[in-house]
Chains A and B, each alone.
Chain A
Amino acid sequence: MRARLTPLHIVAALAALVAVTPLVYLVVRTGSAGWETVWEILARPRTLQLSVASLGLATAVAGTCIAVGVPLAWLLTRTALPGGRLWLVVAALPLAVPSYVAAYTWLAAFPGIRGFFPAWMVLSLVSLPYVVLPVAAVLSQVDPAFDEVARTLGDGPLRSFRRTTAPLLWPAAAAGGLLTALYTLSDFGAVSLLRFDTFTRVIYTSYRAAFDRTSAAVLSLVLVALALVFVLLERAMRSRHQQWRVGAGAARRAQRIPLGPWRWPALAGVIALFGLAVAFPGVMLVRLMLQSQRFEADPGAWLAATGNTVQAAGIGAIVALALALPIGVLAARHSDRVTKSIESAAFISHALPGVVVGLSLVYLGLSIAPALYQTLAMLGFAYAVLFLSNAIGSIRSATAQVSRNLEDVARTLGDRPTTTWWRVTARLSAPGILAGALLVLVTAMKELPATLMLRPTGFETLATEMWTFTTVGSFSQAAPYAFGLVVLAAIPAFLLARLTGRRS
């Protein structure tokens, strides 16, 4: 049976095409090498070994983030945890800690740590928000009526949760897990410092040590294949669950569950977790700063870098949102093959290391739009390609939560589909859409390799300034820029927490 294609399909397909532009470059580079070279690179024993290592690490980090992130999101949104919504703000902050900064601070405290375990821990801590934020967004919107009906029908609280709330959470949790897995696949900072060999580390090595663009391109295509494994896995997990409300009217706000004596251990757990993820790197940076003999404050440079970061990441977030909206909405409302392919394609670039996306845009940018080369527009575009997938999942989950009946009513009253979306769906799914934009914003703020290649010459962001100092071993001078990132990230996080908590 052929699926009926709507205009939305076409818009979303165009957006997905934009997102996969790096693949064009990779195929060109690989194609110019000839099969023999390609095969020789693929047949290296290291290639298989690294695939296993990368898959293993990504699975472990994603699994951990789901296992810890879902209960955490529940604690933060549905219970009377002391501190209330403040914790939701804090929950987004680990995203602002670049993985290499986190890794460096752990290494400074415990010299000699290396390998899988520390890499797993550091990456899990920094990517926890990928799961917590979307799950919290869904939890704060779930209609308590479901649970109440189940309870009336005789279900206990746990059984009711499993049968009513959990199915709604799964899509968000799986989507978050996917982002975590892809982020882990693409990470270079933490694994290189903590000396765990992954695919991405070897792709960097191809460029850095051998100036070998062919190997890097071939290996990047393998990485794309690994990413597809996770994309399909997530889809399989998600497809088992019904995803929309059918009841009439809007959902009511759920009551927060009193935790009684359990609130103190719960609070301790939450504090410990965020302490490790945010406070620990912060304290270590302060220590390194105090130790330093060459620390000089440069407020001018700091302010300029902060402004530049907001500007570049902001443009990136807007472009990403524009691309992610049609894809996310389509994925929430259709389940045909075309939709699935569009959605999967949009996620792939997220697994590519920044250096690969950067170089591909150097190549494509100069051949297609030389006038835009090394301008803010192109940098924003690069961010959108890299982080678009951060927005898709939460847009999809949030849209799926909006009852189709509401849309149908609007249509019956004569609204066109786009008007319906704007007047009904967009407003009800706004927290999810904003969560997506927030994720893009904070991850784009700390992006480094593509920024170095595509920013306007002389345009410094917090991440590039931080890099300037870390390459000469001066973490003290890098610290103010690291703090800048966390402070900047706190602003959108605060906005998100307000939106998430204010439903009525």
Chain B
Amino acid sequence: MIKAGGAIALAAVAVLGLSACSSGDGADPTQEAAEFVVYSGRSEELVGPLIEQFETATGVQTEVRYGDTAELAAQLLEEGENSPADVFFAQDAGALQVVQDEGLTTALPTAVVDKVPAKFRSADDQWVGTSGRARVIVYNTELVPADEVPKTVFELTDPKWEGQVGIAPTNASFQAFVTAMRVTVGEERTKQWLEGLIANDVQTFENNLAILDAVNAGAIEVGLANHYYWYEKAAEIGAENLKVRNAAFEAGDPGNLVNVAGVAILPTGADNPGSEQFVEFLLSDEAQQYFADVTAEYPLVKGVAARDDLPPLSQIDGPDLTLDQLADLRGTQDLLLQVGLL
């Protein structure tokens, strides 16, 4: 039994010793203060190489804290003016807008963000979209012939799709789409549509990937998701092994909304030269090409084309909206709460 007590002590010493040894690895932030800190809500798997390109191109030594976009936004709100971060690289505009609303963003240089259409940046240039992702309907090719895929989201309340539709109501891009619907067809009709979905036994999922998996496995026939998840799935198990496909709704349908991932400079990063360089880099042709090729998103800067197997941005005729009109996220969440989807 004496040995047991000793074992505990030994384990303690071993762990502390290990800490002492490995603090030389560079994991210790106090040893080499990073010049420039990014809070990235976009996955390292997707943007890690891009950030390395940024370091090589500019020589700015960059530290990245990867996390969930919404949780990082909540963390930024708690940190306030004490945040160690210089910029927030987010997966959706909603999170950027929340951080802006708390006064935790600074104005971006107009000359830089002018490269992006006004539609894809904040009204007062507090954040800018860096890449676009389209809302699509995903369907199982074995269960739904291509010509029977719904042409508009409003078809999804048809009894034909009972229990067969997947949505992710907590997902930011789904909520942006509902906001777009409220603006284009009105509050009342949107509410009816949501209630119609519920009456039709709509299946709710945590995120877009879960919807894609369920449709691919045939657990449900169709779902509402973002276009690029299909490309991630295809990279994982091969396009030829996928039974799920993307499709666009007809022109003007709110279901075709284009959302953006974007970036904002925080007050704590206002004086860091790296911040502006980072935003500039994300809007450079090199980075825009990266989004087109590697993450299968839509470049937002003129002159860089999306990949061939995507319908061009100009052709997915989404609802005719500016981002200002999508600002009422709160109203959408109240509606989703009211009908019982949140």
- Residues of A bordering B, CB below 8 Å: 44, 46, 107-108, 111-112, 192-193, 195, 205, 207-211, 213, 291-294, 304, 307-308, 310-311, 314-315, 317-318, 321, 355, 358-359, 362-363, 366, 370, 373-376, 422, 426-428, 430-431, 433-434, 437, 449, 452-453, 456-459, 464, 468-469, 471-477, 495, 499
Residue of B nearest to A471 (CB): B43
- The reply to whether B37 and A311 contact each other, CB–CB distance below 8 Å, is no
- The contact of A308 among B12, B14, B27, B218, by CB within 8 Å, is B27
- The reply to whether A469 and B45 contact each other, CB–CB distance below 8 Å, is yes
Size category of the B interface is: 35 or more
Q: What is the CA–CA distance of A459 and B22 in the complex, to the nearest angstrom?
A: 11
Q: Which residues of B contact A495 (CB under 8 A)?
A: 7
- The reply to whether B44 and A468 contact each other, CB–CB distance below 8 Å, is yes
Contact A452 to B45, CB < 8 A, known contacts A211-B73, A366-B78: no
Q: Which residues of B contact A307 (CB under 8 A)?
A: 18, 22
- Residue-wise interface mask of B (45-78) relative to A, using a CB-CB cutoff of 8 A (1 in contact, 0 not): 1100000000000000001111110110111011
Q: What is the CA–CA distance of A495 and B3 in the complex, to the nearest angstrom?
A: 12
In the complex, what's the smallest C-beta–C-beta distance from A397 to chain B, in angstroms? 16
- The reply to whether B233 and A430 contact each other, CB–CB distance below 8 Å, is no
Contact A208 to B79, CB < 8 A, known contacts A434-B7, A499-B7: no
- The contact of A209 among B18, B43, B175, by CB within 8 Å, is B175
- The reply to whether B67 and A452 contact each other, CB–CB distance below 8 Å, is yes
- The contact of B71 among A46, A192, A453, A458, by CB within 8 Å, is A453
- The contact of B70 among A108, A209, A317, by CB within 8 Å, is A209
Q: Which residues of B contact A292 (CB under 8 A)?
A: 236-237
Q: Which residues of A contact B29 (CB under 8 A)?
A: 374-375, 456-458
- The reply to whether B22 and A370 contact each other, CB–CB distance below 8 Å, is no
Contact A366 to B82, CB < 8 A, known contacts A433-B8, A456-B28, A457-B34: yes
Contact A362 to B78, CB < 8 A, known contacts A315-B19, A458-B27, A472-B45: yes
In the complex, what's the smallest C-beta–C-beta distance from A318 to chain B, in angstroms? 5
Residue of A nearest to B38 (CB): A457
Contact A46 to B63, CB < 8 A, known contacts A111-B217, A209-B170, A310-B18: no
B1 touches A (CB below 8 Å) = yes
- Residue-wise interface mask of B (192-207) relative to A, using a CB-CB cutoff of 8 A (1 in contact, 0 not): 0000000000011110
Q: Which residues of B contact A108 (CB under 8 A)?
A: 213
Task: With A195-B206, A311-B22 given, name 8 new contacts (CB 8 A).
Answer: A107-B213, A193-B210, A292-B237, A294-B235, A456-B29, A457-B64, A495-B7, A499-B7
In the complex, what's the smallest C-beta–C-beta distance from B15 to chain A, in angstroms? 3
Q: What is the CA–CA distance of A254 and B208 in the complex, to the nearest angstrom?
A: 55
Listed A/B pairs (12) with beta-carbon separation below 8 Å = A111-B214, A207-B74, A291-B237, A293-B236, A317-B15, A437-B11, A452-B66, A468-B43, A471-B68, A472-B43, A473-B213, A473-B233
Q: What is the CA–CA distance of A362 and B214 in the complex, to the nearest angstrom?
A: 36
Contact A473 to B15, CB < 8 A, known contacts A111-B214, A112-B217: no
B335 touches A (CB below 8 Å) = no
B154 touches A (CB below 8 Å) = no
- The contact of A211 among B98, B212, B236, by CB within 8 Å, is B98
Contact A458 to B63, CB < 8 A, known contacts A307-B18, A311-B19, A359-B74: yes
- Residues of B bordering A, CB below 8 Å: 1-2, 4-5, 7-8, 11-12, 14-16, 18-19, 22, 25-30, 34, 37, 43-46, 63-68, 70-71, 73-75, 77-79, 82, 84, 94-95, 98, 169-172, 175, 203-206, 209-210, 212-214, 217-220, 229, 232-233, 235-238, 241, 330, 333, 337, 340, 342
In the complex, what's the smallest C-beta–C-beta distance from A234 to chain B, in angstroms? 26
Q: What is the CA–CA distance of A285 and B201 in the complex, to the nearest angstrom?
A: 32
Q: What is the CA–CA distance of A292 and B238 in the complex, to the nearest angstrom?
A: 8
Q: What is the CA–CA distance of A477 and B45 in the complex, to the nearest angstrom?
A: 10
Q: Which residues of B contact A458 (CB under 8 A)?
A: 26-27, 29, 34, 63-65
Residue of B nearest to A454 (CB): B75
Q: Which residues of A contact B220 (CB under 8 A)?
A: 112
- The reply to whether A193 and B206 contact each other, CB–CB distance below 8 Å, is yes
Instruction: Please report whether the interface of chain A is mostly helix, strand, loop or mixed according to DSSP.
Output: helix
- The reply to whether A426 and B170 contact each other, CB–CB distance below 8 Å, is no
Q: What is the CA–CA distance of A269 and B172 in the complex, to the nearest angstrom?
A: 45
Q: Which residues of A contact B14 (CB under 8 A)?
A: 314
- The reply to whether B5 and A430 contact each other, CB–CB distance below 8 Å, is yes
Residue of B nearest to A459 (CB): B27
Q: What is the CA–CA distance of A453 and B66 in the complex, to the nearest angstrom?
A: 9
In the complex, what's the smallest C-beta–C-beta distance from B321 to chain A, in angstroms? 21
Q: Which residues of B contact A473 (CB under 8 A)?
A: 209, 212-213, 229, 232-233, 236
Contact A209 to B84, CB < 8 A, known contacts A359-B75, A473-B229: no
- The reply to whether A376 and B342 contact each other, CB–CB distance below 8 Å, is no
- The reply to whether A476 and B4 contact each other, CB–CB distance below 8 Å, is no
Q: What is the CA–CA distance of A422 and B6 in the complex, to the nearest angstrom?
A: 11
In the complex, what's the smallest C-beta–C-beta distance from A358 to chain B, in angstroms? 8
In the complex, what's the smallest C-beta–C-beta distance from A14 to chain B, in angstroms? 21
- The reply to whether A499 and B4 contact each other, CB–CB distance below 8 Å, is yes
- The reply to whether A362 and B75 contact each other, CB–CB distance below 8 Å, is yes
- The reply to whether B79 and A366 contact each other, CB–CB distance below 8 Å, is yes
Q: Which residues of A contact B95 (CB under 8 A)?
A: 211
Most buried by A among B11, B14, B205: B11
- The reply to whether B45 and A468 contact each other, CB–CB distance below 8 Å, is yes
In the complex, what's the smallest C-beta–C-beta distance from B49 to chain A, in angstroms? 13
Residue of A nearest to B209 (CB): A473
Q: What is the CA–CA distance of A474 and B30 in the complex, to the nearest angstrom?
A: 33
